Amino acid sequence: MCRPARADKRRIAVNFSRAAKTYDYAAVLQDRVAARAMLGLPADWLPDCVLDLGSGTGSQTTLLAEHYPQATVLGMDLAIGMASHARSSYPELNWCSGDIEHLPFKSNALDVVFSSLAIQWCDLSRVLEEVYDVLKPGGVFVFSTLAAGTMHELKQAWSSVDRHVHVNTFDAFSTQKHCVQQSGFQLHSFKLQTETVFYLTAMQLLRDMKALGVNTVPSRQNGLMSRQRIFKFQQAYEMFRTDKGLPLSYEVIYGILRKPQR
Ligand SMILES: C[S@@+](CC[C@H](N)C(=O)[O-])C[C@H]1O[C@@H](n2cnc3c(N)ncnc32)[C@H](O)[C@@H]1O
């Protein structure tokens, strides 16, 4: 059985809603990952209905709509602030708010479900059950998600400052693969790739994390975070500096699954 992701959905929704206006400018790695994930979209057929799960500001959903101009494309996000930002940026597409673990769609209704960097906060086995149910037989689930080891530099730098949990933990690649193998989907591709983004300073990194809605400083500490602790964090992060700057690594899983034809 897959371990449920320990996620506080309310906190996730609030953080992402707050980040709706700042997300796009900081989403360098997220754009790169989504572009790579989209390479897995089926090119040899014309789907009628395409769903983007955890669609955020909608910038990837609009690329899906360009990819499948004939299809009805719908973006769904847990954060109401994200869904309404997407609706005002791209009124020509369809938007709703909802939870990936409780999809508000009929069974066998969709041809393609896409999701980039959203399902890592969910119980993967639950996500797979839900997506399997809403896809038509022969439908495809194309996604990216995160595995253990993601942001290890950030985790390590904070561990020299305090014992708080600043970075989410993600299941190992092998655990997630096992979960997918149990799901009933046909596994077309399931790969792990390290993606790294570089920052000039540790402060820039923290600012970008916040702009993305990934708050690595617990809220109860925000106001109290002393200069000394921030200085200690910056010093600790400097140990990772390379010629390109301060690295932040993401262990990204790219998956392509197909629901078997009946
Ligand atoms: C890192 S952003 C990615 C957004 C977009 N897919 C992209 O690639 O730019 C993750 C998004 O997933 C959404 N999300 C997280 N958990 C969710 C859930 N259980 N159901 C629906 N959306 C969720 C967040 O609100 C956020 O907008």
CB burial of residue 258 (10 Å; 0-12, 13-18, 19+): middle
Determine the residue of 14, 78, 113 to mutate for testing ligand 1's pocket, defined as the one with the most ligand atoms within 8 A of the Cβ atom: 78
- Selected from 3.30.70.20, 3.40.50.150, 3.40.710.10, 2.60.40.10, the CATH number assigned to the domain covering 9-148+169-196+250-258 reads 3.40.50.150
Using only C-alpha atoms, the chain has a radius of gyration, in whole angstroms, of: 19
Q: Which atom of ligand 1 is nearest to the CA of 23?
A: 9
d(CA 145, CA 115): 8
For residue 79, report the distance from its CA to the centre of ligand 1, in Å.
8
Structure tokens of 187?
């596994």
Q: Give the atom of ligand 1 at the shortest distance from the alpha carbon of 27.
A: 9
Residue 137's nearest CA partner among 186, 182, 69, 68 is 186
**Residue owning the nearest CA to atom 15 of ligand 1:** 118
CA of 99 to the centre of ligand 1 (A): 10
* Beta carbon of 60 within 6 Å of any ligand 1 atom: yes
Instruction: Kindly tell me the burial class for residue 51, based on how many C-beta atoms sit within 10 Å of its own C-beta (0-12, 13-18, 19 or more).
Output: buried
Ligand 1 mean position to 103 CA, how many Å? Answer: 14
CB contact set of 188 (below 8 Å; sequence gap of 6+): 40, 140, 256, 257, 258
Task: Output the pLDDT for position 160.
Answer: 87
Does residue 178 contact residue 124 with C-beta atoms inside 8 Å? Answer: no
Question: 160: helix, coil or strand?
Answer: coil
For the chain, the structural domain boundaries read 9-148+169-196+250-258
Q: Nearest 5°: CA angle at 215, between 211 and 219? A: 125
Q: Could you read off the pLDDT of 14-49 as tens digits, one per residue?
A: 999 999 999 999 999 999 999 999 999 998 889 999
Distances in whole angstroms, Cα of residue 191 to Cα of each of 30, 60, 112, 146: 17, 21, 19, 11
- For residues 67 and 63, give the distance between their C-alpha atoms in angstroms, rounded to a whole number: 6
Q: How far out from the chain centre does Cα 22 lie? A: 16
pLDDT for the residue 6: 44
β-strand 186-199 against 246-258: which pairing, if any?
A: antiparallel
Contact in structure between 59 and 24 (CB atoms under 8 Å): yes
Give CA torsion, residues 14, 227, 241, 12, to 10 deg: -10
Going residue by residue through the chain, which has 262 residues, state the pLDDT in tens, using 9 for 90 and above: 444 344 589 989 999 999 999 999 999 999 999 999 999 999 888 999 999 999 999 999 999 999 999 999 999 999 999 999 999 999 999 999 999 999 999 999 999 999 999 999 999 999 999 999 999 999 999 999 999 999 999 999 999 888 777 778 899 999 999 999 999 999 999 999 999 999 999 999 999 999 999 866 555 555 556 788 889 999 999 999 999 999 999 999 999 999 999 7
> Which phi and psi angles does 119 have, rounded to 5°?
-80, -5
Distance of alpha carbon 162 from alpha carbon 96, whole angstroms: 39
